């Protein structure tokens, strides 16, 4: 395992031989900024991030000899343990060490707050005095597109068969069945909490749940029977509704009805978004011209509202609580508590409030990304070339971190049937043999990428 390097500092030549570089900066005629710039930091990026100070130092997760989480420690203590060979690095993102000797296992109560969401998840783990870990997770948003692509390939493969036995019994869905995209979002929440529990001795988890009335969001005055009277109520069909909405004018040429040129309904964003606000009223000739000349962008001047976040929470809120067996709170309570603490709106601050945070010392939040673990496609069809077919999945994939000749690099790609890889850093790109590099960590799954500045209002600091 790679160890943390010793951090050296520059000492001015006219400094006292007794006090060294601890003398006040004004004595040497150097400003604090100059002295700070003269320091030589460790070449390990993870060490530099852990010891970066904005608020309190970010704590380093610690595992015991059995791999169970203990209370996290400071970067300085972690560096001391590694230097004395009392621990080893077991993870880089986030930076985690494991002890190789028995020690006391005194633990404090840690509460984990989860701000569930469709695109972003906020999390915050706090004790009575400090916030130990926090961050925002950016979830994947390409699940639906990949499923449609997979269906296309399967359909093409099955159509090439001369005969395939009819299968009907395998289409029955379980009562707990969810759409694949929603199931992935639910699983991402559960996997994130499980990963944090493997790093910190969490004693309590609190999740924010909410029920959204989408019709009430669109029309605050809706009540009673109006819930059963949708947008197309009392209209003969969709064309009649569009004529009344657009006052009989084509949305492309802005002209009235032309005899012999019937009205057409156009889906502005494709048929996968089949909602009244995503429909356009066009003449038949205008509709054909838009598709022939690919002028769809001319009608996309106003993006429609999306309620995917609200729909997701309506579906998974109790499933998430039941799967975790945890406590829950509601959005209105979180909103009021955050206002009382004078904290700006963010997923990290919401998670901090959900975990019953009040005056705890905040830490720098992580920017966590969710990366696809594997590319299913093994065949690449390029125009002018014969199909490129991979016979197996390669051991290294893009975004993996490796070492080559004592330096760290990121994998950009693999070629020559897995024998060579392209690696890069901030300075250079190299094409080397896969046998000459050593894996540090994989770049897939839930990745604790960077550290963000804590989002705290000036009023809360004062």
pLDDT at 376: 66
DSSP class of residue 346 equals -
Task: Examine the pLDDT at 356 and tell me if it is beyond 90.
Answer: yes
Give per-residue pLDDT as tens, 134-171.
999 999 988 888 888 888 878 887 787 777 676 766 66
pLDDT at 1: 46
pLDDT at 373: 80
DSSP-based three-state secondary structure for 377: coil
Class of domain 111-140+183-213+315-371+454-461: alpha beta
Task: Examine the pLDDT at 132 and tell me if it is beyond 90.
Answer: yes
Report the share of the chain in percent with pLDDT over 70. 81
DSSP string, 37-81: HT-B--S-HHHHHHT--SSBPPPEEEE-TTS-EEEEE-HHHHHHH
Task: Examine the pLDDT at 362 and tell me if it is beyond 50.
Answer: yes
Mean pLDDT of 90-99: 89
Structure tokens at 268: 């502005």
Give per-residue pLDDT as tens, 185-216.
999 999 999 999 999 999 999 999 988 887 77
Q: Which of 120-134, 291-305, 395-409, 436-450 has the weakest average pLDDT?
A: 291-305
CATH architecture of 381-443: Roll (2.30)
**Count of Cβ atoms closer than 10 Å to residue 394 Cβ:** 15
What average pLDDT does the chain have?
80
Structure tokens at 347: 């997923």
Give per-residue pLDDT as tens, 274-294.
888 888 899 989 999 888 888
pLDDT at 229: 79
What is the sign, positive or negative, of the torsion defined by CA atoms of 135, 401, 194, 68? negative
Give per-residue pLDDT as tens, 234-280.
888 899 999 988 888 998 888 888 888 889 999 888 887 788 888 88
Give per-residue pLDDT as tens, 393-415.
788 888 888 999 988 899 998 88
Task: Examine the pLDDT at 368 and tell me if it is beyond 70.
Answer: yes
Give per-residue pLDDT as tens, 318-350.
999 999 999 999 988 999 999 999 999 999 999
Task: Examine the pLDDT at 35 and tell me if it is beyond 60.
Answer: no
DSSP string, 199-233: HS---EEEEEE----HHHHH-TT--GGGGG--TTT
The long-range contacts involving 250-255, CB below 8 angstroms and separated by at least 24 positions, are: 250/281, 250/282, 250/283, 250/286, 251/280, 251/281, 251/282, 251/299, 252/280, 252/282, 252/283, 252/286, 252/287, 252/289, 252/290, 252/298, 252/299, 253/283, 253/286, 255/283
Q: How confident is the model at residue 377 (pLDDT cuts 50, 70, 90)?
A: low
**443 φ/ψ angles, rounded to the nearest 5 degrees:** -105, 30
DSSP class of residue 95 equals E
Structure tokens at 418: 């897995």
So where are the chain's domains?
20-99, 111-140+183-213+315-371+454-461, 231-299, 381-443
Contacts of 26 (CB under 8 A, 6+ apart): none
Q: Where are the beta strands (DSSP E) in 284-406?
A: 327-330, 366-371, 379-380, 388-389, 401-404
């Amino acid at each position: 395992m790679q160890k943390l390097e010793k951090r050296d500092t520059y000492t001015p030549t006219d400094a006292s031989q007794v006090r060294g570089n601890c003398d006040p900066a004004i004595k040497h005629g150097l400003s604090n900024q100059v002295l700070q710039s003269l320091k030589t930091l460790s070449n390990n990026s993870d060490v530099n991030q852990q010891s970066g100070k904005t608020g309190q130092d970010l704590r380093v997760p610690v595992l015991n000899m059995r791999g169970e989480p203990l209370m996290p420690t400071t970067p300085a203590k972690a560096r001391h343990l590694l230097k004395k060979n009392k621990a080893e690095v077991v993870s880089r993102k986030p930076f985690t060490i494991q002890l190789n000797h028995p020690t006391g296992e005194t633990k404090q109560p840690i509460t984990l707050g989860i701000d569930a969401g469709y695109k972003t998840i906020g999390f915050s783990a706090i004790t009575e005095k400090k916030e130990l870990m926090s961050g925002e997770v950016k979830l994947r948003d390409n699940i639906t597109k990949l499923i449609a692509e997979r269906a296309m390939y399967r359909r093409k493969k099955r159509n090439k068969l001369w005969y395939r036995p009819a299968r009907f019994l395998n289409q029955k869905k379980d009562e707990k069945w969810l759409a694949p995209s929603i199931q992935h979002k639910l699983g991402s929440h559960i996997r994130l909490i499980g990963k944090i529990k493997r790093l910190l001795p969490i004693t309590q988890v609190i999740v924010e749940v909410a029920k959204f009335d989408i019709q009430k969001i669109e029309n605050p005055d809706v009540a009673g029977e109006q819930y059963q009277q949708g947008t197309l109520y009392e209209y003969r069909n969709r064309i009649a509704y569009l004529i009344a909405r657009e006052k009989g004018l084509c949305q492309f040429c802005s002209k009235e009805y032309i005899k012999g040129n019937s009205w057409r309904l156009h889906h502005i964003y494709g048929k996968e978004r089949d909602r009244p606000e995503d429909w356009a009223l066009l003449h038949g000739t205008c509709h054909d011209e838009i598709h022939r000349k690919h002028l769809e962008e001319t009608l996309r001047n106003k993006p429609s509202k999306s309620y995917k976040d609200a729909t997701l929470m309506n579906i998974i809120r109790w499933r998430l609580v039941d799967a975790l067996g945890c406590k829950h709170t509601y959005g209105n309570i979180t909103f009021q508590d955050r206002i009382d603490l004078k904290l700006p709106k963010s997923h990290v601050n919401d998670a901090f409030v959900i975990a019953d945070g009040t005056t705890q010392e905040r830490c720098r939040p992580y920017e966590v990304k969710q990366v696809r673990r594997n590319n299913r496609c093994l065949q690449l069809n390029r125009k002018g070339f014969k199909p490129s077919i991979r016979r197996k999945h390669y051991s290294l994939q893009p975004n993996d971190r490796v070492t080559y000749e004592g330096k760290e690099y990121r994998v950009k790609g693999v070629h020559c049937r897995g024998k060579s890889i392209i690696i890069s850093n901030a300075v250079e790109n190299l094409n080397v043999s896969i046998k000459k590099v050593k894996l540090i960590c994989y770049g897939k799954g839930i990745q604790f990428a960077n550290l963000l500045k804590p989002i705290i209002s000036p009023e809360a600091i004062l």
